[in-house]
Amino acid sequence: MTATISAPQEAKTQNDTNQFLTFQLAGEEYGLDILTVQEIRGFVPATRIPNSPDHVTGVLNLRGTIVPLYDLRKMFNLPECDYDQFAAIVVVNIGSRVIGLVVDRVSEVIAASTSDIQPSPDLGHSACQDAIRGILRHEEHLVILLDAVSLLEDDDSNLNLAA
């Protein structure tokens, strides 16, 4: 199942308007730069990789390519949950790497200018600090913006294996 991406609600000046795909994770709203999102799929079980780190759920077959699936809840040390029919996999494409991220549910696509993004407070946990690009206020709620590239770099466990 792939979701269609609807048009953004606001349109500001061309230069600094970015679009973000927002999704839910443990009751909080997160966002990813739409340019990094390749597609959205319904949740399918992945093939486990033996002796892999906890947050690596496994690998999937995406039209013939092997794509690793990461569990964001585990990456951010959030409590586990059983995924229901709304759970989805956000397929992210960065450079030449394609990865999948498991989310509770996908929300919508919003537009915001870079000036709306506030830096996130430093809560002292360096592990995922870099992965957070900033905080966005959108229609009365907060969206925590993630930086896809840092997410991958933070995950140094298997990248070291690749090195």
Partner 1 sequence: MDFDTSDLKQLFFEESDEFVELMESSLLELEHDPTNADTLAQIFRSAHSIKGGSGSLGMNEVMMFTHALETLLDQLRKGAMTADSDIIAMLLECVDHLRDLLDAARNDTSSPSSAALLARLEIIIDGGKIGQEKEVDEETFRKQVWEAVAAAQAEEAGETPKPAEPVVKPPSTLKPAFDEDAFRKEVWAAVAEAEADDAVKAAAQAPDKSLDELDKLMDEAAPAKPVVSEPVHDPAPHPTAVAAQADDPKKAAHAAEKGENQVLRISADKVDKLINLVGELVIHQSMLIDAAGPSPTPALASAVSAISQATRELQEKVLAVRMLPIKQLFGRFPRVVRDLGRSCGKQVNLETSGEETELDKMVIEGLADPLTHLIRNSVDHGLETPADRTAVGKPEFGTVSLRARHESGNIILEVADDGKGLDREKILKKAIDNGMVGADDQLTDEQIYSLIYQPGFSTAKVVSDVSGRGVGMDIVLQAIRTLGGSITVSSRPGFGTTFRIKLPLTMAIVEGLTVKVGNELYVMPLTNIVECIKPNTSDIHMLAGQGEMLNLRQSCLPVTRLATMFGVPTEVTDYKDGVLVIVEDGSRRAALLVDELIGQNQVVVKSLETNYGNVAAFAGATILGDGKVALIIDIASLPVLATGGTAYAVAA
Residues 54-93 that bind partner 1 (CB under 8 A): 58-61, 64-68
Check binding of 50 to partner 1 (CB under 8 A).
yes
Residue whose CB is less far from partner 1, 32 or 136: 32
Tokens 């925590």 map to which residue? Answer: 144
- Residues 143 and 140: their CA atoms lie apart, in Å, by 10
The three-state secondary structure class of 128 is helix
- The half-sphere exposure of 19 on its side-chain side, counting CA atoms within 13 A, is 15
Q: Rule CB under 8 A: choose which of 99, 131, 145, 146 binds partner 1.
A: 99
Q: How far is the CB of 72 from partner 1 (least distance, A)?
A: 16
Residue whose CB is less far from partner 1, 47 or 77: 47
Residue whose CB is less far from partner 1, 26 or 66: 66
Question: Which residues, 6 or more positions from 86, have their beta carbon under 8 angstroms from its beta carbon?
Answer: 104, 105
